[in-house]
A and B are shown apart, each in its own frame.
Chain A
Amino acid sequence: MKVLLVEDDKDTAGFILRGLRQAGESAHHETTGKAGIISATTSQVDVIIFDRLLPDMDGIDAIRVLRQAKILAPIIVLTALAETAERVAGLDAGADDYLVKPFAFSELYARLKALSRRQPLQPVNHQLTLGDLTLDRTSRKVSRNGQLITLLPREYQILEYLLLYPNQLITKTMLLEKVWGFSFDPKTSLVQTHVSRLRGKLDKPFAYDLIKTVRGSGYIINDDR
């Protein structure tokens, strides 16, 4: 995965670049909006990380320029502003995701992976499969090892989202945003409880677990025994 990072703050940039290199990704770093736009238009990148507050321009304007120039690489916006209006402005300008500082690297990386995986757009996939698990998106039926599993709507939504990004970390915050549509963080174990219910139906009766917990970060669904 080739990542372009446009971030003027040295500490934040260093933190992200180190994380990306440790994860074995190649990263290119720019400190101004203009340099970022030039890099994005002249070289092939898979994902772009854009800081909102840059010395020479607003990241939102830079994104608008890139989208007008038909640069379609997914963009994730970083900002210190948590307000919903800011989020909406970012997404309206053509960004694909939004992350508020401070954040854990695992959170950023999970989102980068999810974004890069989406490229190119998958043909509408009616059947999601992983090992002996199948999920039919039309009939909303889930079965494992030929056995039909009855899920509650919320459990189904969680599983569907996990299956769209197999083998990669899905954080608690991502689930809250994509499955529940929350922009706030409940103090209770809302996500954990629902995931554990799902696992009770999906994994417990079978030979091995598909959903794995990554302590302190989130969940991964894979076929590893």
Chain B
Amino acid sequence: MTIPSRPDRLWRNKSFTTALLFGLAATVFLSALLVVRAWWFIIHEHEMLKIEIQDFKQEILAIFHEDGAMGVREEFGLERLHPWTAEEIEHHVAENELVFTVLNQHERLVAGARLESDFNLAWQQHAFELDDETITLLTHHFAVGEQFQVALTRVTSWIDEEAWHEATKLILWVWLAMPALFMALGVVIAKQQVRSVKQLQGELSALAAAAKLSPIPVHTTPNANTLQPLDSIRLSINQLIAKMSSIHQDIETMSVGIAHDLKTPLSRVANRLQLMQQDIDDPSMTAAHLEQCIEQVNLVIATFTSIVRLSEIESGQRKASFTRLNLSEIIREMAENYEPLFTDAGRTLTISVVDNVYCSGDRDLLNQMLNNLLENALEYSEESAKVWVRLQNHTSGVLLQVGDSGPGIDDDDQKRVFTRFYRGDISRNKPGNGLGLSIVKAIVNLHDAPITILPQKDGVTGAVFNIVIPTSH
């Protein structure tokens, strides 16, 4: 199977687009900051201008108090005070110089510029037309003694102009530089991502082509804090590989089991058929061979029937038809069925079952579960062994115990007895196909009834199966 490779379109890459969007957001944010900065600059410069004007006013007032109007005049070198002409005013405004206005007590212009400002206001912001251009001015009005009213005026237009000029220039740079910067960052991240994904894809393709599944390398240590995103995927893939390997091994065990189990009866059939060819003239011999053939073929069929049965149970379909059953009755009946078989085989079967225990289940399957456990006990216990079936109340549900005083199952085998085709008896001399306990396991799983084998210690010698069955009332 090949994975179709998609052309690497940069704008389809999530990290790239994220970086780009982030860049745009940062640009907008920075622009806003610059606007705020310009606004703050305007306010600050206005304040500075006011302070400057006020300092000048204090100076004038101080000189006035000391030396009177003449002192002021001398101090500032205003020998000939006179009202300015329009040109003079325009010249002062254009050069951004201080413009002053002096009125006498009759509110007549004594010196400086007439700017039509309102002497009732301490501070006034007003406009001035200069060569078709509107210029804003800031004027401070105050009285000097009782004779004069003075207005000091500065141009403020330049502050706004400078602030906006500076801001727009910076914003332009931000807009030019930031998106490009983030785009470059996006490209780097995206490339890196594409590269690591491609590497992982390469590793997986190699794994798919390899003969055996083996874990893929994880570069960082498996520490949740420092784990790279792709490494956590690697760890998950490794978990998956471990599971697949175990399934694969199960399948392998099973196919070897099937092959082994079928090979014996089929080779017996082959042998008998050869013998039949030799004894074809002897009807009684031929009949004996035939009977053997049929018997062996039936064994093969029985194995297949068990496999089909097992997968039917494992599919879980039967769960839909569970009914309320008298478990005590089922167990007692089945144990009683087997009692003569145990007696005939020189073993004793003890039955101890509490009455009227009900559970939700499938009668046929529960019968088979008991049947298989009892068959197992009959087959693997020694002569004169004691076997018991016990049903007793338990903290969660009821405990069904089927045990024997036989040789038991050693701890290594305990883990594997439920595996398909596994047999404690390696020679496979005993009848059966190694599926009996696998079927038991599938049935208890279907009934949500955990099964355990008592460990070989604390005086336990035989094989003791404990099944905790949930009850229903």
* A85-B317, A187-B431, A188-B375 known; A154 vs B341 contact (CB < 8 Å): no
* CB-defined contacts of B432 to chain A, threshold 8 Å: 187
A180 touches B337 (CB 8 A): yes
Instruction: Give chain B's interface residue range (CB within 8 Å of chain A).
Output: 20 to 34
- CB-nearest residue of chain A to B291: A216
Closest-by-CB residue of B relative to A184 is B368
Residues of A within 8 Å of B301, CB to CB, are: 102
Least Cβ–Cβ distance between B76 and chain A, in angstroms? 116
- B364–A190 CB distance below 8 A: no
- In the complex, which of the residues B336, B363, B378 contacts A188, with contact meaning CB atoms closer than 8 Å? B378
Chain A nearest CB from B344 CB (Å) reads 6
**A190 x B338 contact (CB < 8 A):** yes
**Contacts between chains A and B (CB distance < 8 A), count:** 60
Query: A83 contacts the other chain (Cβ, under 8 Å)?
Result: yes
A126 on interface, CB distance cutoff 8 Å: no
Closest to A182 in B: B367
Judge if A185 is at the interface, Cβ distance under 8 Å.
yes
Nearest Cβ on chain B to A209's Cβ, whole angstroms? 20
**Which chain A residue lies CB-closest to B301?**
A102
Report Cα–Cα, A184/B308, bound state, in Å. 12
* A182 with B364: CB separation less than 8 A: yes
Docked Cα-Cα span, A84 to B443, in Å, equals: 14
Which residues on the B side are within 8 Å of A181 (C-beta)? 363-364, 367
Is the beta-carbon distance between B367 and A84 smaller than 8 angstroms? Answer: no
A186–B371 CB distance below 8 A: yes
Which B residue's beta carbon lies closest to that of A154? B337
The distance in angstroms between the C-alpha atoms of A167 and B452, with both chains bound, is 49
- Would A83 and B375 count as touching, CB distance under 8 A? no
Chain B residues near A82: list those with CB within 8 A. 305, 308-309, 312
Q: If the complex has contacts A182-B364, A216-B291, are A190 and B305 also in contact, measured as CB distance less than 8 A?
A: no
Interface centre among A82, A84, A197 (most CB of B within 10 A): A84
Across-interface contacts of B302 in A (CB, < 8 A): 185, 187
> A residues within 8 A CB of B10?
none
Fill in one digit per residue for B364-375: 1 if any A CB lies within 8 Å of its CB, else 0: 100110010001
Give Cα A189 to B375, complex, Å. 10
Q: Give the residue of B294, B340, B379 whose beta carbon is less than 8 angstroms from that of A197.
A: B340
User: In the bound complex, what is the Cα–Cα distance between A102 and B340 (angstroms)?
Assistant: 31
- Interface positions, chain B 291-313, Cβ under 8 Å from A, are 291, 294-295, 301-302, 305, 308-309, 312
Q: Which single residue of chain B is at the shortest CB-CB distance from A180?
A: B337
Q: Tell me which of A84, A183, A187, A188 has the highest count of chain B C-beta atoms within 10 A of its own C-beta.
A: A187
Closest to B304 in A: A82
Q: A84-B364, A185-B302 are in contact. Are A194 and B375 (CB under 8 A)?
A: no
Return B331 CB to nearest CB of chain A, in Å.
15
Task: Say if the beta carbon of A139 comes within 8 Å of chain B.
Answer: no
Q: Once the chains bind, are A190 and B337 in contact (CB under 8 Å)?
A: yes
A51 to chain B, nearest CB (A): 18
Question: B318 near A: Cβ within 8 Å?
Answer: yes
Q: A194: nearest residue on chain B (CB-CB)?
A: B340
Q: Which residues of A contact B379 (CB under 8 A)?
A: 188
A22 CB within 8 Å of chain B: no
Instruction: Please provide the chain A residues from 169 to 194 with a CB less than 8 Å away from any CB of chain B in the complex.
Output: 180-190, 193-194
**Which B residues lie within 8 Å of A197 (CB)?**
340
Q: Are B338 and A84 touching (Cβ within 8 A)?
A: no
Check A84 against B318 for contact (C-beta < 8 Å): yes
Report A106 CB to chain B, min CB distance, Å: 11
Please, which residues of chain B bring their CB within 8 A of the CB of A85? 317-318
CA distance A102 to B431 in the complex (A): 21
* Bound Cα distance from A84 to B446, whole angstroms: 15
CA distance A185 to B309 in the complex (A): 11
Query: Using an 8 Å CB-CB cutoff, how does the interface string of A50-89 with B read, 1 for contact, 0 for none?
Result: 0000000000000000000000000000000011110000
* Complex contact B341–A193 (CB within 8 A): yes
| Interface contact B340-A186, CB-CB below 8 Å | no
Which residues of chain B are near A216, meaning CB under 8 Å? 291, 294-295
Min CB distance B220 to A, Å, is 50
Give CA–CA (A28, B318) in the complex, Å.
38
Given that A102-B301, A190-B341, A197-B340 are contacting pairs, would A184 and B371 also be in contact in the complex, using a CB cutoff of 8 Å? yes
Q: Which B419-433 residues have a C-beta within 8 angstroms of A?
A: 431-432
Q: Taking each of B308, B371, B375, which has the highest tally of chain A beta carbons within 10 Å of its own beta carbon?
A: B371
Measured between alpha carbons, how far is A100 from B309 in the docked complex, in Å? 13
Q: How far is the CA of A82 from the CA of B312 in the complex (A)?
A: 9
Which residues of the other chain, B, contact A183 by a CB distance below 8 angstroms? 364
Interface residues of B in 304-340 (CB under 8 A from A): 305, 308-309, 312, 317-318, 336-338, 340
Q: Which 6 A-B pairs have the closest CB atoms?
A: A83-B312, A184-B368, A193-B341, A193-B340, A188-B375, A186-B371
Additional A-B contacts beyond A85-B317, A189-B341 (15; CB < 8 A) = A82-B308, A83-B312, A84-B364, A154-B337, A181-B364, A182-B367, A182-B368, A183-B364, A184-B371, A187-B431, A187-B436, A188-B338, A188-B341, A190-B337, A216-B291
Provide a sorted-by-A list of 8 A–B residue pairs whose CB atoms are within 8 angstroms.
Answer: A82-B305, A84-B364, A182-B368, A187-B432, A188-B375, A188-B379, A190-B338, A216-B294
